[in-house]
Amino acid sequence: MYNRTRRLRKSLGIRRLVQETKLSTDDFIFPLFIEEGENIESEIPSMPGIKRYSLDTISKELDELIKLNIHAVLLFGIPSEKDDEGTETWNDKGIIQQAIRFIKKNYPTLYVISDVCFCEYTSHGHCGIIHKNDVDNDATLANIAKQVISHARAGVDMVAPSGMMDGTIQVIRKALDNQGFVSLPIMAYSVKYASAFYGPFRDAADSTPTFGDRETYQMNPANRDEGLREAKIDDSEGADILMVKPALSYLDIIRDLRNNFDKPIACYNVSGEYAMVKAAAKKGWIDGEKVMLESLLSMKRAGADIIITYFAKEVAYILNKQS
């Protein structure tokens, strides 16, 4: 037989040589939940291994990340006070702003990214200002600018707006440039679906909407072409990195973005994807470690340069052992 594809699978030596995709700790961003208060280190039941920390307990987590060669974190704040507009998001002394200052001062090599949204900070749990039972897009934009500038003043390295309001990237870019933050990049949650895979996160971040859902601003999971339209807009408004979220059910979208844009592509391996692997592994129904590695590999194979994942530390343990 002239063509035998099995020749290149015969031994580990050749399989290593022809392997197309590889995972690296350089590609991971680890999400952190930081809660206002003291002495907090609470387990999140639906996300085994992931915890909420206060600033006085978070150092051991950060030390571990450094030791493991994980260089980037994505911050989510859980404030003690919520209100209608989420005004805490632009309080220069707010929990995220404090966290940014703390990490940049004590762990200057960590790359600090802030999630820019309102749902953890509003009493109703929606991602902006409510008007007539829906999120008011343009009123919310003004608050997004205030939030981003406050993060920038605290010293954040990159901002990641996740609220899916139209015009977000343009408003953020303009605000940052006007205030002199011309070199601060934006990672846009460009193609973010209204997904049931966010369930555990909403427990973790106390951000479940008290009424309705997010279907008037997050995308319909049935739509693929619309994903390209969203990404095109963010690209033209000046996003530096384009993100797809969730990851595993949306590998086709990741590939679409890879094929259509010459900017780095990120994906968010979300809480529900993490929880399913953990739960099935605990039952002994799957090999959790192998499924984790295969899932992350498939995201890179689909075209993601960057993976935001709660698995970052576990994978790093494995990758560091291998190298």
The DSSP element (H or E) to which 140 belongs, if any, is: helix 137-154
Say how far apart CA 129 and CA 119 lie, in whole Å. 10
Say which of 82, 192, 300, 313 is annotated catalytic: 192
Q: How far is the CB of 23 from ligand PBG (least distance, A)?
A: 19
Say how far apart CA 170 and CA 157 lie, in whole Å. 18
Say how far apart CA 168 and CA 147 lie, in whole Å. 12
Say how far apart CA 50 and CA 43 lie, in whole Å. 6
Tell me whether residue 174 is one of the annotated catalytic residues: no
What residues make contact with ligand PBG under the rule CB under 6 A? Answer: 115, 117, 119, 127, 162-163, 198, 201-202, 207, 270-271
Q: Is 50 helix (H, G, I), strand (E, B) or coil?
A: coil
- 242, 190 Cβ separation under 8 angstroms: yes
Q: Are strands 265-269 and 306-309 parallel, antiparallel or unpaired?
A: parallel
Q: How open is the CA angle 52-142-262, to the nearest 5 degrees?
A: 75
Q: How far is the CB of 144 from ligand PBG (least distance, A)?
A: 12
Task: Report the residue number, 5 or 133, with the smaller CB distance to ligand PBG.
Answer: 133
Say how far apart CA 3 and CA 318 lie, in whole Å. 35
Cα 318 from chain centre: 22
AA identity, residue 138: D
Say which of 67, 146, 245, 278 is annotated catalytic: 245
Q: How far is the CB of 260 from ligand PBG (least distance, A)?
A: 24
Task: Report the residue number, 181 or 274, with the smaller CB distance to ligand PBG.
Answer: 274
Tell me whether residue 245 is one of the annotated catalytic residues: yes
Task: Report the residue number, 127 or 257, with the smaller CB distance to ligand PBG.
Answer: 127
Task: Report the residue number, 109 or 133, with the smaller CB distance to ligand PBG.
Answer: 133
Task: Report the residue number, 86 or 163, with the smaller CB distance to ligand PBG.
Answer: 163
Q: How far is the CB of 162 from ligand PBG (least distance, A)?
A: 4
Query: Cβ-closest residue to ligand PBG?
Result: 201
Say how far apart CA 259 and CA 271 lie, in whole Å. 27
AA identity, residue 193: Y
AA identity, residue 212: G
Q: How far is the CB of 280 from ligand PBG (least distance, A)?
A: 18
Q: Which residues are catalytic?
A: 192, 245
